[in-house]
Amino acid sequence: MKIGELNLDIKVSNCSSCENLVIEDHSYYLTTPEHPSIQIQLPGYNTTWTFDFIPEKTNIFNSYSFGVAPTSCLSELPDGLYTIKYMICPYDELYQTVYYVRQCKAQCQWDTLLKKSFNSCYDLSPDVNMLLNKIEYLLKGAEIFANDCEPEKAIEIHQKAVELLNRLECILE
């Protein structure tokens, strides 16, 4: 006798590497699914990649997985909107779609600019402080809209954050 109800629940982890896309399975299964798969669309690509997915585990994808590594070394995956669809059999009935705004490079740029912003007294100019705060809120806002299945708004906010990061970089140089 099976108790409970199937609950598909995958989460994209913010890992420390811009080279990896880490997806964790937090699903509750009545029985272990056979042949689960995941479809991932990278930002800037029209292609959707399909992979086998290991249930109840952490699954890691990188530029080799997607076949986009330009050299023999791993390359960073692009920032932007990822559309991820996790499916178990029957695939047309049991699936979860997740939108994820990857902001790894943007967050690294924000960190670098914050370090650059401090003067010898460890103070920030009011203008730089205001811009850093606005960028941080935009980055967080993009995540929230993606999590709430509003991908268009999420990417719009992310792009505004990147625009302001580039403006701040010019100010600090």
pTM of the model: 0.90
Q: Is the pLDDT of residue 160 over 80?
A: yes
The yes or no reply on domain 10-102 and CATH 2.60.40.10 is yes
Q: Is the pLDDT of residue 1 over 60?
A: no
> What pLDDT score was predicted for residue 3?
64
Strand order in the sheet with 58-62: 10-13, 20-25, 58-62
For 84-95, write each residue's pLDDT tens digit.
999 999 998 999
For 113-137, write each residue's pLDDT tens digit.
998 887 666 777 888 999 999 999 9
> What pLDDT score was predicted for residue 72?
76
| Residue 157: partners with Cβ closer than 8 Å, 6 or more residues away | 138, 141, 142, 145
Q: Indicate the domain borders of the chain.
A: 10-102, 104-172
Mean pLDDT for 148-169 is 96
| Residue 141: partners with Cβ closer than 8 Å, 6 or more residues away | 157
* Token output for 71: 């050299």
Query: Within a 13 Å sphere around the CA of 56, how many CA atoms are in the beta-carbon half?
Result: 7
